A and B are shown apart, each in its own frame.
Chain A
């Protein structure tokens, strides 16, 4: 598959902070890609470098084959960025904002597409409202619309759902999923790990300006997380089981990899004279993966 984003050996230092440290990354066309990491990990710096807002000290970045520095006009036409900050121009209405943004990309007659975006983002009734009068959620939607006016094949969303209510979040993801299904490459940064887990096919985790994990979401879950059998019981657990278990709030947690491990485990507990009062099974989740990767507990 063709490459949508290619990042090679990119380094960026801000005074004493090494924001990006020899980052190598490729995102294929049509991917829904997640970029995760704690605050200050370098996610926004990496996106800014891709968008030409930050100039790397070394290395190269390209979007759809166009170098972001030497061929910046072509590269920027391929890229739509939803910035993290809730920024807007208070002089203009929603429609004027989108028409001006279209004009920046050399598109003079874009009203049909603007109407379609407004409808999909539930902004049609606000088209002629001044940006100042919109709520935070609506301003966020306009930011998404601005990133889409020139129909970029690659869309980068930098924490687009920060501070956004559940309804808007779901509507936004429906629209972004549709764009992805239509062939757009999506790169997402978010602190909502359940969103990343359900949306992203592949994920990179950044820490201290380095990529510390990069794989498909499924592989990350399998490699860095396990299922957990949680149970509450009366009596002593057999010593072999107790060694593997962790106790918290009256519950024992036992990690396991395959479901066929459960029955022998329960049998062993019962045979030891331990009565089970309650139990549940926890699936592996990205939060678990994230914490393990960030604390270097990969197994």
Chain B
């Protein structure tokens, strides 16, 4: 039974959530499973050998995996929805409707955040039994999860608009999103890296999202959460402006 759909923005947002929820085993279940496998493999290999910020490796790894799942799935939601709609042609239904570019952007990004958070909660719910976790600053946890989802959701909107074929989107995902998330300190603290790679990591905005998110759990991080918040806020603002600019011009959507 469909709820009453009030207004174009809410309808588009609801449609985007319903779209991924209808294939939840693929869009929520599978990423949770992948994260659990990462945890099992890495914690088996490194638990007992490594301790970071005074916590066990498995406990350190869990927030990183949760946040990585949030980020990757937020990106996947908005980008795959847009490219599918473009390739199949059904995007015409939203383009014919009286939906502003602000509503369009907000609906896609919000739905991306919802999927990211659902996957993140799923990963947390399954992995938290493997190591004792603290939740010292829950608001930081929530804030960075939403902000990270917003950043990657926006990046997904840009990629979905730009890509004309699935392989272009796959290239975006494999050569930009994957390196950014994997090299952001999910599996290690950047303090353990050589000075050069520490410097490089500071240019990766995803590092700040992971680090700030982890700060919410343990109260310690590689950089101040306020700096991470400022970097994340700046990135989100820049990507939002770019997305809105593309949408208002109808770039690759309207001829």
Contacts and interface: CB of A to CB of B under 8 A. Distances in A.
A175 interface: no
A53 B255 contact: yes
A259 to B, nearest CB: 48
Contacts of A106: 6-8, 98
Interface residues of B, number: 31
B201 to A, nearest CB: 39
A88 B88 CA distance: 7
Contacts of A55: 250, 254-255
Contact of B88 (A90, A96, A146): A90
Contacts of A77: 98
B19 interface: yes
Interface string A89-110: 1111000100111111110110
A160 B87 CA distance: 21
A54 B254 contact: yes
Interface in B1-32: 2, 4-8, 10-12, 14-15, 18-19, 22-23
B97 A104 contact: yes
B224 interface: no
Interface residues of A, number: 34
A79 B97 CA distance: 9
Interface string A153-166: 00000000000000
A52 B254 CA distance: 8
A91 B255 contact: no
B67 to A, nearest CB: 28
B96 interface: yes
Contact of A104 (B98, B250, B254): B98
Nearest to A89: B90
A146 B93 contact: yes
Contact of A87 (B23, B89, B254): B89
Contact of B12 (A52, A104, A146): A104
A43 B167 CA distance: 32
B8 A100 contact: no
A41 interface: no
A249 to B, nearest CB: 45
A48 interface: yes
A51 B228 CA distance: 44
A103 B10 CA distance: 8
A77 B88 CA distance: 24
B45 interface: no
Interface in B198-255: 250, 254-255
A73 interface: yes
A108 B8 CA distance: 10
A74 B98 CA distance: 7
A94 to B, nearest CB: 12
Given A48-B255, A72-B98, A77-B98, A89 B93 contact: yes
8 contacts: A73-B100, A74-B98, A85-B89, A87-B92, A103-B6, A103-B7, A105-B8, A109-B4
Given A54-B254, A73-B98, A106-B8, 7 more contacts: A53-B96, A85-B89, A88-B90, A91-B19, A101-B93, A103-B8, A103-B10
